[in-house]
Chain A
Amino acid sequence: MNNTKDRVVMDKRAIKRTVSRIVNEILERNKGASDLVIIGVRTRGVYLAERILKLIKKLEGVEPPLGTLDITLYRDDLRRKTEWPKVKKTEIKFSVEDKIVILVDDVIYTGRTTRAALEEIMDFGRPASIQLAVLVDRGHRELPIQPDYAGCTIDTLSKEKVRVHLKENDGNDEVTVLQG
């Protein structure tokens, strides 16, 4: 925490502006919100998805359905037994059939979480398209997956950690890069 080399890359106001920009891009590209459904990836993607939903409602007067995704059962490293992931609940109580799915996560890194999320969404039906929105793109992709909406792109070393704090879960809004 007190390491002087840790750097804050986004503060509360920057996060607010960024989320609002992402929402505007989503609405612009999809010409409104009529066919949208929003799905947040646990844990912090869910809070970002809620914020995005709130803004869409404010701007467009419509409220797309909101779902949460727990990708644990779709991970590609389950059998390596390196860590023990607790399974939480996926909740998608609406049809994704022919909808535009806005998939929301806090950070994109290797792309493996997104790969798992795509597979899981497909098990719920055949959406018209899936678009990925992230707050932070930190590079180092291991799969050919790119976000459609990226809040901020930062250069990191693999050994560094990107820590996203959101008020709903962590008490404050902040994105920090921690030295490895």
Chain B
Amino acid sequence: MDFNRRHILGLEELSAEEITLILDTAESMKEVSKRDVKKVPALRGVTVCNLFYEPSTRTRSSFEIAEKRLSADVLNFTLSHSSVSKGETLLDTARNLEAMGASVIVIRHPMSGAPWLLAKELDSSIINAGDGSHEHPSQALLDLFTIREIKGNIEGLKVLVVGDILHSRVARSNIWGLLKLGAEVRVAGPPTLIPSHIENINVKTYYNLEDAVKGVDVVIMLRIQMERQDSEFFPSLREYARFYGLKREKLKLAAKDVVVMHPGPINRGIELSSDIADDAGSVILDQVSNGIAVRMAMFYLVASGGGNS
């Protein structure tokens, strides 16, 4: 099948076939990262701009490495150094970047929907690197890639997502992707952090982690955003860790070959007990290196495939 999109904005709008194509392409891209010369000329002459309105180290670095491995020219725009702090609007900034020759714009923005605005108004290809609490497609795609690599297939797997589902763009994108590829999706967390009516898209809700974890093949632990801990979604971090932190005895209830994943950075002793974090360490680092391959695939598909006509 062909990939006829100019943008990759979210997993909700991608079909199962498109997601599978991105994952297949990423497999080929992963090989490039194992070579002595980790670079291919596919995006030579293409200028990619990373436009980040939120602080990010790992996502931005991962995008930047992916761009460089494809030989793109890279332009970084981050909040503190840019004209954003001088009051320029998002659209004006992006139009300026386009005028400088950027033909792919990677955007992270605190407002949900910002990438769609750029996609509508600009000629460039837009890749969403996280918008508000809405979608984070590259993270979900790399999670799907990692699960598929370990388990061989996603269809039929029981996958549990734990934590702040309400504010998590990682959770949203993952849930869409997992459902489309035929997994059974469960979510667990305090009632205040689970979106209402999530059952309507065929997701099972649990408020008790022991019940939720029974028989699952994959657990995706979300990061508790420390910067948000003083808001009133749960009484205290200690209480959260006690009820929703993943510890050895709870994990024993899952399938024998359960895979524990975390988008990082981990708060040890909160989402994951330290021993589980150590055990899961290799998978979590796999996620990071797979992230580069998945992002290379996203660039390749929008820049060379995308029905631009």
Contact = CB atoms under 8 A, between A and B. Distances in A.
A140 interface: no
A89 B139 CA distance: 23
Contact of B31 (A81, A85, A91, A119): A91
A73 B37 contact: no
B2 A84 contact: yes
A81 to B, nearest CB: 6
Contacts of B29: 87
A119 B41 contact: yes
Interface in A78-95: 78-79, 81, 84-91
Contacts of B41: 73-74, 119
Given A73-B41, A73-B42, A74-B41, A123 B3 contact: no
A105 interface: no
Majority SS of interface residues in chain B? loop
A70 B309 CA distance: 27
B19 interface: no
A90 B37 contact: no
A89 B28 contact: yes
Contacts of A72: 42
Max chain A Cβ within 10 angstroms of own Cβ: one of B37, B42, B306: B42
Interface string A3-23: 000000000000000000000
Contacts of B42: 72-75, 78
A125 interface: yes
A123 B38 CA distance: 8
Interface residues of A, number: 21
Contact of B40 (A74, A81, A84, A125): A74
A87 B39 contact: no
B304 A123 contact: no
Interface string A112-125: 00000001100111
Contacts of B37: 123-124
Interface of A: 70, 72-75, 78-79, 81, 84-91, 119-120, 123-125
18 contacts: A73-B70, A73-B300, A74-B40, A78-B42, A79-B45, A81-B305, A81-B306, A84-B2, A84-B3, A84-B304, A85-B304, A87-B25, A87-B300, A88-B28, A89-B28, A90-B31, A119-B41, A124-B36
Given A79-B46, A89-B28, 17 more contacts: A70-B28, A73-B32, A73-B40, A73-B42, A74-B42, A81-B309, A84-B2, A84-B304, A85-B304, A87-B29, A119-B41, A120-B40, A123-B36, A124-B35, A124-B36, A124-B37, A125-B36
